[in-house]
Structure 1
Amino acid sequence: MRVTPTTARLRPRSVRAKIVALLMLPIVSLMALWGYAAVTTASHIGDTQRVKDVNAELLTPVDEFITALQTERTAATRHAAAGNTAGLDALKAAGKATDDAATALRNGADAATADAELLDAGLPTRIDRLEADARGLTALREQTEAKDGSRTAFTGYSTVIEHAFAVTGALTGENGTDAASEARVVLELARAREAVAQEQALLAAGSGAGKLTTEQYTLFVGAVATQQELLKPAIADLKAVHQAAYNAVLQSSNYAGFAAGENRVRGAGPGASVISTGFLKDWDKDADAVLKGFGEAESDAGTGATAKANPFGWDTLGASGVAVILGLLGVLLSLLVSVGVGRGLIVELLELRDDALEVAGRRLPRAMRRLHAGQGVDIDAEAPMRRLVGDELAQVGTALTAVQRAALKAASERAELLSGISGVYVSIARRGQVLLHRQLDLLHQLEQRPRDPAEVQELYQVDYLATRMRRHSESLLILSGIAPGRGWRDPIPLVDVLRAAVAEIEQPGRVQVWPVPRVSLNGGSVADVIHLLAELVENAASFSPPSAHVRLRAARLREGLLIEIEDSGFGMNEEAMAEANRKIQSEDIDLLDAKQIGLFVVNRIAARQGLSVELRSSESGGATAAVLIRENLIRDDMPVHDEVRADGQDGGRSLAPASALIPQQRG
């Protein structure tokens, strides 16, 4: 997969961030699912509470208003049919109950006005129309006192009741509670109860004449048909717990008498004198009992059950509430487990990283330095082998220890090899030194005898070669960490030291020794300084044209004595210069590196005597080697030397052979 720069920036970089991202993904997903369940449950609780509010503010007042209107309609039609003051007290009592219900309706409607439009877009209009009907009840009552008042009362009150059912119907779309039956079914049962109330009002309207007109009979038969059509199917759709109340009413003697009266009136037909006083009294009693039973059953199935619903109860929360609680426990448990596992994993990884850095940055380099210094290293103590047990991280730690042991073992074997090579160097160098010193002594004796100048010059050439051979032999000892055998007890003038260094190269005539300060070097450091300068001068002569001169000059500084060897060669690039300085100044040298062994010799001598050596580019285009000799190796007095004059004015034109500066042999 191709990684874009944006993806690379978003990708976690540290191990801690990666582990946190890995563990947080399932936790965030689980929290999202829990959040969805919690929001759904909270929404269900809110819906239940809203239904209760709607029930208390609108449905209950509307139902009570409908019941009051039904009672007043029956009383109004009976009073209008009597044509006298009969039933007036009952009408006034019913009117007062209706007014009280209308007041409660208006108060509830005012409280629910803010949410009415949210429940149904047409609900505010229906409520306004019902409130207008409630305010017009006074006018309606006055109309019932006029001629044909029973017809006006039946029609007027039925219209208001229908408007009330319109408000209730608009609320059937609102989610109900689990405790209540479906609002649509309850509304059908309410209409069935309205049909029973209409039957009672129609018979009351015909009570004055003892019979029903054709219109009244038609309305009566229609009300009976509506009641029978809606009642039993709606009861069947109720919840089982709510069906019992309706079935109890249907199986009662009151309903049987009520049904018998219906059948009697329907069988007689319009205009038949069947509404006697005794019949109507008994039938009204049964009808009142049926209406009361239907009202109570309707309340239990709808508004009453809703009012009793608990938004935080089991019926409301149910499985979703359990899911929310278990989900919360799952989220908390996941967080605890993830934090524990992630923290433990991060700690193990950080410990593994720290161990690796400790091995790579301290323990392994320290052991390597000890091996390079010739000291033994206990591999089991430095890197104790771990058992291959535990998880993958423990196995990585075991593998890391195995790598460390392998590196220490390889370094130890290499150190043993270098030690063996060093021993060979020392043995060969010691043997060669013995022969070379004997050869130089013999050459010195031959040079003292009178000879032809040409023969003397040839002896000088042999002397130079022997001196170089002695220097190379001493280089083997120096690389092996052993000081050369020659040395001086007394301070030696600087000019003699420089001339002796020049005398140890193949072409000493190419070297120009500039005037030097009148100082001396301590005898103990003379041999090393001569050897170091000879290596640098020979290096300068080797990497410059044969016709070019090498300039050797010295200057007294506050920090000590600065000696510079400058050639006129082609110079060195920055990379080669840096590599050469690294070999000169590094604490560790590789004796198996066969390139530029002279720089390693300079490294060992500089480290032993505390000298500072650096290569840098010169203004002439070549290279300059700068050697700083510290104050503790310098003396300003100039002791007289019998063999060599320290005037420093020969400029490299006529140098005595190297054997002219005879050292005191050590050991």
Structure 2
Amino acid sequence: MPFRGKSIRRKIVGLLLVPLLSLTVLWAFATAITGQEAAELLTAAEVSRKIGDPAEDVITALQTERRQALVVLATPRPRPGAAPSRTRTAALTALHGAERATDKARAALRSGADGDVRDDMSPAAADWFAAMERRLDRLPALRYRARAGSVPPDEAVRTYDEAIEAHIDFLTLLGSVRDAGLEQQRRALVGLGSSREALSREDALFAAASAGDGMDARQLRAFSDHIAERTVLYRTNVAVLPVEDQKMFDDYWRGTEARALETAENAVVLAGPGRAARAVDAARWQAAASTVLADLARLDAEANRRHQDRLDPVATWVLTKAALAGVLGLAALVASVVVSWRTGRGLVRDLRQIGRDAHEVSGVRLPAVLRRLAAGEPVDVETEVPRLEHTDDELGQVGRALNTLQRAAVEAAVKQADLRRGVSAVFVNIARRSQLLLHRQLALLDTMERRTDDPDELAALFRLDHLTTRMRRHAEGLVILSGAAPSRQWRRPVRLTDVVRGAVAEVEAYERIELRRLPALAVRGPAVADLTHLLAELLENATVFSPPHSTVQVVGERVPNGFALEIHDRGMGMAPEVLLEANLALAEAPEFELSDTDRLGLFVVSRLARRQDVRVSLQPSPYGGTTAVVLLPAALLGDVPAKPATAPVVPVGPPQPEPRPRPFDHDEDTPVLPRRIRRAGPVPRPADTTTHEAVRDAEDVRARMASLQRGWRRGRAATEQEHEHDSTGTTDERDGR
């Protein structure tokens, strides 16, 4: 379709353009038809006035010239050398007069046909006018031969008859109109002219016979044929004329002049060949025939005038109709255009308003509501989506449906936010309870570790201690996903090396992690818990998705914007599209979806990174696995705090049994390391402890250390053989890689 995929304005314009174009075409067609009819009437009247009347005069002149030519041809020529008779001289004089009259009428006809009149004629009328001109051009030669007596009478009659018939046929084609009744009447008037032509031929034939040797049988038959032709033409055409014209012609033919002519005709026909020319006196015949011909010409002119009077109202009505069709049609067209434009503009305006409302809800209002809901702000549905008033038409129904849809969307968003808050509250509640129990369990494990001397039991307790530490991290992950603050907090800075080691201690396969030497930097206290948790998630991901015999390297160096930690594993790596998706999630920190349970660790890392302004990205590792780059901003880092004299730090190793302070105690003023990061050497004693007691305790510790070394090796071997793994913290990496 030509309008598929276009704007609504174009579609409405296309919808309204078809009827408007149709109406325009109909208006133009009706105006053209009526205008053409009016133009034809005006043209017909103009052409009839300039050519019709002169053509009638030419016919009358040709009829008179034909009669005088036949009289000249019938008059006996003088003998050679003898003077012409008086009769012939009078006949020649009358012929010269008739020729001059014909030439004058022809000149008037040509004068009337000059200019645009020929262009206004119909093609058929123009052809007949040309034929009429050609036949009139034959007259000079015929006249010369007629005066010399060298042309046969029949040829002369035929030449004049053809010229007169051409003029009659031209009148038949001239000035035709579309009105059927008026056109029939016009043709009937032309037919009455043909009837008068038959009488003129009859008169010329009798005048020639009277001037010559009389009528033979052929001439008498032609004479009677002309009488019959005249009668038939008269009766046929008079019946078509209006009643008043019929009465006029009938009254005339019942009058004295017409009856005198009919009496003379009957006498000629009844006299028979040879005596017909002597049956009626020539003067009597000429008086009767010329009188009737003149009266018939007058009656025809009067009938033509009446016909023109009847034609004028029709022409006026046609002109009025053309004007009405043009003006009213134009007014209707303009009104249709205006109404269509206003209607289309109203539709476009309403549809645009609906589109703006929909765009405002989908692109502005609903996202703003979701942002406010995500921020924990209260949202009133009535304020955000007020009930709008719409009309009762179809567009109003669409508007109301859209308003209802908007309210439903906002209400669903509010309910979803309430559900999220409820779920988050459940997460926090469960996580807090779990953390409380885990803290109690860690305290109990600490007490049991202090009381036992059996290396096997101590190794099992240490393994249980390690699992509890990981469980605490997973519980803390629920708190982070819920948006709440974790319970572990530090007020003072902690060495970066200790933070990384604390993260290593919360990973199951911690013995596979190789920590390179890090510079002497400290992490601000409020960021220690989040950074430890973040690194623990990344480290566990690296150990889980790399071969058991491989190591995971942790290196770091200063960069212009802070400090960069790199975690290299030797796993199978990640597909490019999966790697891109994971990096986008880490950079944007998307909203946690309850249905996306396989990516919990990814959400936890992104939340922690966003909260501490840390940038985390995943890259292909040069070893074939994946490298996690953690960029710590300079605002999180500082100088290493002064070390207590009794707290030297050693590398990661098996847990030690000596008493130690509670891990992650946010109420202490000094930074405390995680449980898996233990100190070597004797535990510091209170100030009032004697030296002897300190030495005895140190010897005790050394004896227990030897037994614990053996138990730790057995415990580590047993740990490597385990297959159970808590999936809560690493299933996101398992899905993403």
Instruction: Give the alignment's TM-score, normalised by structure 2.
Output: 0.76
More divergent stretch after superposition (556-565 vs 265-274) = 265-274
2:194 aligned partner: 191
Are 2:38 and 2:315, in contact at CA under 8 Å, matched by a contact in 1? no
2:728 aligned partner: none
More divergent stretch after superposition (207-216 vs 550-559) = 207-216
Aligned residue for 2:63, secondary structure, equals helix
Residue identity in the other structure for 2:288: W
What is the CA–CA distance in structure 1 between the aligned matches of 2:10 and 2:452, rounded to whole Å? 90
What is the CA–CA distance in structure 2 between the aligned matches of 1:19 and 1:560, rounded to whole Å? 61
Whether 1:588 and 2:594 are equivalent positions in the alignment is no
Aligned residue for 1:476, secondary structure, equals helix
1:601 aligned partner: 604
Are 1:379 and 1:405, in contact at CA under 8 Å, matched by a contact in 2? yes
Whether 1:616 and 2:619 are equivalent positions in the alignment is yes
Whether 1:361 and 2:363 are equivalent positions in the alignment is yes
For the structure 1 residues 242 and 499, does the alpha-carbon distance in structure 2 shift closer, same or farther, using more than 3 Å as the test?
Answer: farther
For the structure 1 residues 167 and 641, does the alpha-carbon distance in structure 2 shift closer, same or farther, using more than 3 Å as the test?
Answer: farther
Are 2:387 and 2:403, in contact at CA under 8 Å, matched by a contact in 1? yes
- % identity of equivalent residues: 36
Are 1:189 and 1:298, in contact at CA under 8 Å, matched by a contact in 2? no
Aligned residue for 1:296, secondary structure, equals helix
For the structure 1 residues 288 and 193, does the alpha-carbon distance in structure 2 shift closer, same or farther, using more than 3 Å as the test?
Answer: closer
Deviations 1:359-395 (A, max 9, x none): 1222122212222332221112222345686122221
For the structure 1 residues 236 and 99, does the alpha-carbon distance in structure 2 shift closer, same or farther, using more than 3 Å as the test?
Answer: same
Which residue of 69, 86, 90 maps to 2:62? 69
What is the CA–CA distance in structure 1 between the aligned matches of 2:103 and 2:287, rounded to whole Å? 29
Are 2:16 and 2:340, in contact at CA under 8 Å, matched by a contact in 1? yes
Which residue of 527, 533, 539 maps to 1:531? 533
Deviations 1:83-134 (A, max 9, x none): 2544666544433221112223455677677788942796477235313224
Following TM superposition, by how much is the alpha carbon of 1:348 offset from its aligned partner in structure 2, in angstroms? 1.8
Whether 1:292 and 2:297 are equivalent positions in the alignment is yes
Following TM superposition, by how much is the alpha carbon of 1:561 offset from its aligned partner in structure 2, in angstroms? 1.9
Whether 1:102 and 2:103 are equivalent positions in the alignment is no
1:17 aligned partner: 10
Are 2:385 and 2:406, in contact at CA under 8 Å, matched by a contact in 1? yes
What is the CA–CA distance in structure 2 between the aligned matches of 1:562 and 1:248, rounded to whole Å? 132
For the structure 1 residues 296 and 158, does the alpha-carbon distance in structure 2 shift closer, same or farther, using more than 3 Å as the test?
Answer: farther
Residue identity in the other structure for 1:432: S
Aligned residue for 2:632, secondary structure, equals strand
Are 1:140 and 1:156, in contact at CA under 8 Å, matched by a contact in 2? no
What is the CA–CA distance in structure 2 between the aligned matches of 1:313 and 1:512, rounded to whole Å? 114
2:230 aligned partner: 227
Are 1:70 and 1:157, in contact at CA under 8 Å, matched by a contact in 2? no
2:37 aligned partner: 44
What is the CA–CA distance in structure 2 between the aligned matches of 1:317 and 1:247, rounded to whole Å? 35
1:166 aligned partner: 166
What is the CA–CA distance in structure 2 between the aligned matches of 1:328 and 1:75, rounded to whole Å? 62
For the structure 1 residues 656 and 513, does the alpha-carbon distance in structure 2 shift closer, same or farther, using more than 3 Å as the test?
Answer: farther
Following TM superposition, by how much is the alpha carbon of 1:421 offset from its aligned partner in structure 2, in angstroms? 2.5
What is the CA–CA distance in structure 2 between the aligned matches of 1:643 and 1:598, rounded to whole Å? 37
Aligned residue for 1:554, secondary structure, equals strand
Deviations 1:322-380 (A, max 9, x none): 55555444433333332222222222222222222221222122212222332221112
Q: How does 1:551-590 map to 2 (within 5 A)?
A: 551-584=553-586, 585-590=588-593
Aligned residue for 2:104, secondary structure, equals helix
What is the CA–CA distance in structure 2 between the aligned matches of 1:512 and 1:187, rounded to whole Å? 128
> What is the RMSD of the two structures over their aligned residues, measured on CA atoms?
4.0
Q: How does 1:173-212 map to 2 (within 5 A)?
A: 176-177=176-177, 178=179, 179-181=182-184, 184-206=187-209, 208=211
Residue identity in the other structure for 1:516: L
Please say which structure displays the higher CA radius of gyration: 2
What is the CA–CA distance in structure 2 between the aligned matches of 1:662 and 1:203, rounded to whole Å? 156
What is the CA–CA distance in structure 1 between the aligned matches of 2:550 and 2:185, rounded to whole Å? 116
Residue identity in the other structure for 1:190: G
For the structure 1 residues 444 and 180, does the alpha-carbon distance in structure 2 shift closer, same or farther, using more than 3 Å as the test?
Answer: same
For the structure 1 residues 295 and 399, does the alpha-carbon distance in structure 2 shift closer, same or farther, using more than 3 Å as the test?
Answer: closer
Instruction: Give the alignment's TM-score, normalised by structure 1.
Output: 0.84
More divergent stretch after superposition (355-364 vs 172-181) = 172-181
For the structure 1 residues 496 and 163, does the alpha-carbon distance in structure 2 shift closer, same or farther, using more than 3 Å as the test?
Answer: same
Whether 1:337 and 2:330 are equivalent positions in the alignment is no
Deviations 1:517-548 (A, max 9, x none): 33222122111111111122122222333323
1:425 aligned partner: 427
Which residue of 14, 21, 30 maps to 1:28? 21
Residue identity in the other structure for 2:166: A
Are 1:512 and 1:549, in contact at CA under 8 Å, matched by a contact in 2? yes
1:4 aligned partner: none
Residue identity in the other structure for 1:70: Q
Deviations 1:173-225 (A, max 9, x none): 57712455466534432221112222333444355579766565444323222
Are 1:519 and 1:635, in contact at CA under 8 Å, matched by a contact in 2? yes
Identify unmatched segments of 5+ residues in structure 1.
Answer: 1-7
For the structure 1 residues 72 and 488, does the alpha-carbon distance in structure 2 shift closer, same or farther, using more than 3 Å as the test?
Answer: same
For the structure 1 residues 439 and 169, does the alpha-carbon distance in structure 2 shift closer, same or farther, using more than 3 Å as the test?
Answer: same
1:237 aligned partner: 240
Are 2:199 and 2:293, in contact at CA under 8 Å, matched by a contact in 1? no
Which residue of 353, 360, 364 maps to 1:351? 353
Q: How does 1:83-162 map to 2 (within 5 A)?
A: 83-86=87-90, 90-106=94-110, 118-119=123-124, 123=128, 126-136=131-141, 138-140=143-145, 142-143=147-148, 146=149, 152=153, 156=156, 159-162=159-162
Are 2:70 and 2:156, in contact at CA under 8 Å, matched by a contact in 1? no
Aligned residue for 1:627, secondary structure, equals strand
Aligned length: 649
Are 1:422 and 1:479, in contact at CA under 8 Å, matched by a contact in 2? yes
What is the CA–CA distance in structure 1 between the aligned matches of 2:260 and 2:501, rounded to whole Å? 151
Deviations 1:300-342 (A, max 9, x none): 478x679x769x9345457677555554444333333322222
What is the CA–CA distance in structure 2 between the aligned matches of 1:644 and 1:216, rounded to whole Å? 164
More divergent stretch after superposition (43-52 vs 466-475) = 43-52
Identify unmatched segments of 5+ residues in structure 2.
Answer: 76-85, 669-737
Residue identity in the other structure for 1:40: I
1:5 aligned partner: none
Residue identity in the other structure for 1:589: F
Are 2:41 and 2:315, in contact at CA under 8 Å, matched by a contact in 1? no
Q: How does 1:248-327 map to 2 (within 5 A)?
A: 249-270=252-273, 271=275, 273-276=278-281, 279-280=284-285, 282-284=287-289, 286-297=291-302, 299-300=304-305, 313-316=315-318, 326-327=328-329
Are 1:193 and 1:295, in contact at CA under 8 Å, matched by a contact in 2? no
Are 1:426 and 1:476, in contact at CA under 8 Å, matched by a contact in 2? yes
What is the CA–CA distance in structure 2 between the aligned matches of 1:42 and 1:492, rounded to whole Å? 103
